[in-house]
Structure 1
């Protein structure tokens, strides 16, 4: 059962890495097409904000699920 965290962490890193690669590639391609840098910067900022918010939401959901299933999170 010790291999499960390693496998899940590896999967998570692969999924997030692939998503970030394609997001950066898409924005780079859009930047080549668009003549206005302001629109590209605004789109990049919105994507970064959505990414940070989804990361925060995933962390909160994980915390509350662990707390719900009676795992001990106290530091003492």
Structure 2
């Protein structure tokens, strides 16, 4: 009866992702044509990577502490 739902939702997802990818690539291409300072871009990328690693570390520690608090067995076999 509802065999068409995955087809419609899958088509919508493909169109939405395709449109978003097109505009993302276009925006990055246009930004590259502006001639931004390479040092500023590398510095910003480094900051983003550092913040990502700190958030990832914090999430890992939070997950470990929560698992220990709930009494889960975290030992390797």
Q: TM-score normalized by structure 1? A: 0.54
Encode CA deviations 1:17-51: one digit per residue, 9 max, x unaligned: xxxxxxxx6xx569624521000000000000001
Moved over 4 A (4+): 28-31
Gaps of 5+ in 1: 1-24
Residue aligning to 2:49: 48
Which structure is richer in relative contact order (CA contacts within 8 A, separation 6 or more)? 1
Equivalent pairs, count = 50
Q: What do you get for the CA RMSD once the two structures are aligned?
A: 2.3
Gaps of 5+ in 2: 1-23
Residue aligning to 1:65: 66
- Which of the pair has more CA radius of gyration? 2
